[in-house]
A = this chain, B = another copy of it.
Amino acid sequence: MKMSTRARYGVRLMFELGLRYGGKPMFLKDIARNEELSEKYLSQLVMPLKASGLVNSVRGAQGGYLLARPPEQITVKDIVEILEGDLAPSDCSKDNSLCARSSYCITRGVWEKLEKSISKTLKSITLNDLVSKFKKEKINRGGK
């Protein structure tokens, strides 16, 4: 049950954009430096986020990325679903046609419950929660 790096890095990327919200677009380079991640890899993650309408971009020099909505309107679930696919722990539970046993399989209910619980938890955390927590803790990570 590991969350992929795609999803985890994606949340960190979005957190950085949340921190910057209201200001100028942010360079991928700066996000990569702050989060100690590969800029090239991040560039792959930010594309689906843009395609899904969570992020806007500005091309060319002095361009960058910025949130398309206020951070309180973006949940971790939004991000994870885009980068991870869906949240179902088993394909059986999302579509009856995917598993011949689904009509009489008892364990299926387990994965459905689990999915709901995961979904609820991730939905309950917004980017703004992360940003506020960060500011509250006055975390100093150097840099400008």
| Chain A residues proximal to chain B, CB less than 8 Å | 1-3, 8, 11-12, 15, 36, 76, 80, 84, 87-91, 101, 104-107, 109-111, 113-114, 117-118, 120-122, 125, 130, 133-134, 137, 139, 141
List of 8 A-B pairs having minimum Cβ-Cβ separation, nearest first = A3-B89, A117-B121, A106-B134, A106-B130, A11-B107, A104-B139, A117-B117, A12-B107
Give complex CA distance A109, B64 in Å.
27
Given known A2-B89, A89-B3, contact A130–B117 (CB-CB < 8 A): no
Minimum CB–CB distance for A101 against chain B, Å: 7
Nearest B-chain residue to A7, judged by Cβ:
B1
